[in-house]
Amino acid sequence: MTISTACASRSLRFKVVAKFGDKEIGGGTADRPGYQSMLEAARAGKFDILVVEDISRLWRARAEYGPRSAELEDLKINMLTAVGDDTRRGGWGNMVALQVAMAEQARREASYRTRRGLDGLARAGKNAGGKAYGYVSIDKVRTIEPKQAKVVLQIYKWRAAGWSAQRIARQLNADGIPSPGSSWQRKDTGQHRKTTKGWRPSAIAGDPARGIGILNNPLYKGQLVWGRSKWTRSAANSNDRTVEKVDTSQWVVHEV
């Protein structure tokens, strides 16, 4: 998204006083530095015309569009888009509201198509995303990584000998074995973030109900399972996601 307070067109004769932008951040969330800076400048009376490429670059969530468009209107700030929207004209509200709703729906459709595509990969027995220690993806097919596979085998041997997940994690760290997340380039800093600071018992034991953790991942007994959970983005803030379990009848399971 790129927004500015003026247009380059000579016919409009606007004076550019500031520019704001948020690269690679969707309009489904208000948690955008450039967007928030624009609102602060608007409240400070720094400009009176806001030019944006398209409404979807500004808002993709009706929950944010409603209060913020009303606030800009109260601040006597007009908005123009490169595709012809102009709040200086009468009757602009219905059209802009419709475009925001369409942009929000397009975001949801993109999410649906992505999941549908991953479902197709899973049904074809290919890697539909996600990492599993001991494997690498080659042409979307999970392939055994020999060095890590030896570690997986050792973990199962220790467990068979009665070792706890805590003891296994301590031994792996003592042996200097890189943890699963040590080479992953994770950007998530929220509650679902992955650690890169050595092995933890949770990486070993995981959760039997969710099929995670080396000792509970069905992939290690030859079953490729996809679709056990579904993530849904919040309508108010696309950065917020909730996860729900999917009924086992809808799982995609392949014997590999």
Q: Does residue 26 contact residue 236 with C-beta atoms inside 8 Å?
A: no
- Residue 71 sits at φ, ψ, to 5 deg, of -65, -45
Q: How far apart are CA 47 and CA 133, in angstroms?
A: 53
Instruction: Give every residue of the chain whose pLDDT is below 70, as ranges.
Output: 1-11, 91, 93-95, 125, 127-130, 183-196, 233-241
Q: What is the pLDDT of residue 185?
A: 57
Q: Using CA atoms, how far apart are residues 156 and 214, in angstroms rounded to an integer? A: 9
pLDDT at position 36 is 92
Q: Check residue 188 and give its pLDDT.
A: 54
- Residue 6 is predicted with a pLDDT of 41
Q: What is the pLDDT of residue 9?
A: 43
